[in-house]
Structure 1
Amino acid sequence: MIRSKWFMSITVMVILTVILAGCGTAASSKAKLVQGKVNVVTSFYPLYEFTKAIGGEYVNAINLVPAGVEPHDWSPKSRDIKNMSQAEVFVYQGAGFEGWVKDFLGSLSPDSTLKVVEASNGAALIKTSENKEEFDPHAWLSPLNAVKMANNIKTALISADPAHKDAYEQNYANYAAKLTDLDARYKKELGQTSKKEIAVSHQAFAYLCRDYGLTELSIMGLSPDAEPTAQDLKNMNEYIKVHNLKYIFFEELVSDKLAKTLAKDANVETMVLNPLEGLTEEQANAGEDYISIMDKNLKNLVTALQ
């Protein structure tokens, strides 16, 4: 009876999580196109970060999803569609991440000169189904995949603005070196941990686990507001006990109530593992970026895996 009530309370919390996540989906980017620069519209944060790093002074990058908004269920509004249509370059993740992109691309006029970049094209993607061409879209959480994605952006920038090819090539080389160094830090530090299993709220870390020899079990699925079943919750409790885990990881752009309730029931603590789908306003104001947050993720992983 007590167990049944506990599962019921978890279900209520999941419903609240979905509602709270949905509250931010009406937000729209306030950035504007700028004359005299290559205007690049990106579908969410990591692509915006990569574009800024490579484009430098010659590019005006617009991130569609505002700070603090979870991007999985976000969709563009009229202002966003106008910016995308009138920009020189549009960059999206692909691999099924942005459900609205197909309709947008289909709405473009036949004479549109917009250069469209599917950033995940050519990255080493993980299939989510053996029988269908469905992939886990969270490829940016592999620094080596991020190098390939950044290269796709660089190629599009050169195509849109060949006059500054050398600058884009150099900026890309500098940023790719930082990503390669990040990969080396992950390999070194995670290669020395005694545990290799992590418990997470959102199934976003398959690429990170693949690259660095870890295993994840998630409360929710590929979307952070997917509703877990009673069996999912039971499996998580058993997984935590079997592997003697001390932490459940949660993320900052969705409610942490479910993770904290599970942690309390399993007598473990919670800690942030950021899927880098967006920054909070506080992170953006503090100058945080992809690499600084990935380094914080590494620090937290090392702590949890001791």
Structure 2
Amino acid sequence: MRRFRNRGLGIGISAVILALLLTACGQDSAAENKAAEGKVKVITTIYPLADFVRNIGGDHVYVSNLVPAGVEPHDWSPKSRDMKNIEEGRLFIYNGAGFEGWVSDFLHNIPADSKLKTLEASKGIKLISTAEHTEEEHTDEHAEEEHGVENEHDHLANDPHTWTSPASALIMAQNIMNALVQADPANETDYKANYEAYKAKLAALDAKFRTDLGKAAKKDIVVSHQAFGYLARDYGLNQVSIMGLSPDAEPRGQDLLEIATFVKEHKVRYIFFEELVSDRLAKTLAAEAGVETLVLNPVEGITEEQEKKGEDYISLMNGNLQNLLKALQ
């Protein structure tokens, strides 16, 4: 009898918790819908896209970014409530280039009568193939699949981290402006004016990267995550990565030794790590090579602290530039 009563109590508690969770989700959804009233509801998949939309959309848009602050996008996958959130929007913007593996199935299943418009923000950017990354590996001897544990990102045809270059961000911003005009033509004038103002800021950022990195004495950067291919290509750097396109893959011990040798031979002064994933490997390699570590932010997401400080894509990329210049002296 005691077990039966405890079991009943457990079921009762579970039911209460479930009810509270459902109520909270319902309240969150209702609050979001109220905040979005009279505005174009735009759903984005990663932080930089949300930031671009807010700058170009201004007061006419309500932006809902799927990945919460402090969460690494590679580790995130949509729940049923996220899919419902997308379906309730007027515009869904995703990076594309293979970054969001779940998107193709979602797009395929959108009802024919849906009013939801979609945008692949990376459209028009010259993509870097994974074959090119393989050729650029630090040893020039090993194929990419030999480095670390296999991950879905390491089987992509192209590097999806387009936004890490301000040059790419300029193309993405224009794509977003065009999509907003298409979704809400009544406010076309404002979208275009906001875009021109933001374009000027991105162009200034791009010019600063080109000028300052062009003067840098060194060109080799050693990073924990192979997320900076577009930045390296557009600004004349050579990216050497500990892990592949996913920040979760573990390299072999031999790989770490080879990179440590590269660091010593090329007089690399810093190993770069990122904030939303563990810095263990970067610090291990830095200790092995006798160098220090610095942050190089792939801007895939934003921390809660950065959000509170009012950081954005441009400020985070300016921070990256300062750390790059420090490392490349």
Q: Give CA-to-partner distance per residue, 1:153-183, whole Å, 9 cap, x none.
A: 1111111110100000011111111111001
Deviates more, 1:270-279 or 1:68-77: 68-77
Deviation of the 1:133 alpha carbon: 7.9
Structure 2 residue corresponding to 1:39, chosen from 28, 38, 41: 41
1-side partners of 2:236 and 2:110: how far apart?
A: 43
1:124 corresponds to: 126
**Residues 257-272 of structure 1: pairs in structure 2 closer than 5 A:** 257-272=280-295
Structure 2 residue corresponding to 1:134, chosen from 133, 151, 157: 157
1:199 corresponds to: 222
Q: Give CA-to-partner distance per residue, 1:91-127, whole Å, 9 cap, x none.
A: 0000010011112212221211110100001012111
Gap regions ≥5 residues in structure 2: 1-24, 133-154
2-side partners of 1:119 and 1:73: how far apart?
A: 21
What is the TM-score of this pair, normalised by structure 2? 0.82
Q: Is it true that 1:159 corresponds to 2:161 in the alignment?
A: no
1-side partners of 2:172 and 2:254: how far apart?
A: 37
1-side partners of 2:273 and 2:55: how far apart?
A: 28
Deviation of the 1:129 alpha carbon: 2.6
2-side partners of 1:41 and 1:72: how far apart?
A: 18
Gap regions ≥5 residues in structure 1: 1-27
1:180 corresponds to: 203
Structure 2 residue corresponding to 1:236, chosen from 248, 259, 267: 259
Query: Could you say which structure has the larger radius of gyration?
Result: 2
Corresponding pairs, count: 278
Structure 1 residue corresponding to 2:269, chosen from 240, 246, 252: 246
Percentage of identical aligned residues: 59
2:307 corresponds to: 284
1-side partners of 2:209 and 2:251: how far apart?
A: 30
1:90 corresponds to: 92
2:104 corresponds to: 102
Deviates more, 1:121-130 or 1:174-183: 121-130
Q: Give CA-to-partner distance per residue, 1:65-89, whole Å, 9 cap, x none.
A: 0000000131111221111011000
SS in 2 for 1:72: helix
2:261/2:289 contact within 8 Å kept: no
2-side partners of 1:244 and 1:148: how far apart?
A: 35
Q: Which is helix-richer, 1 or 2?
A: 2
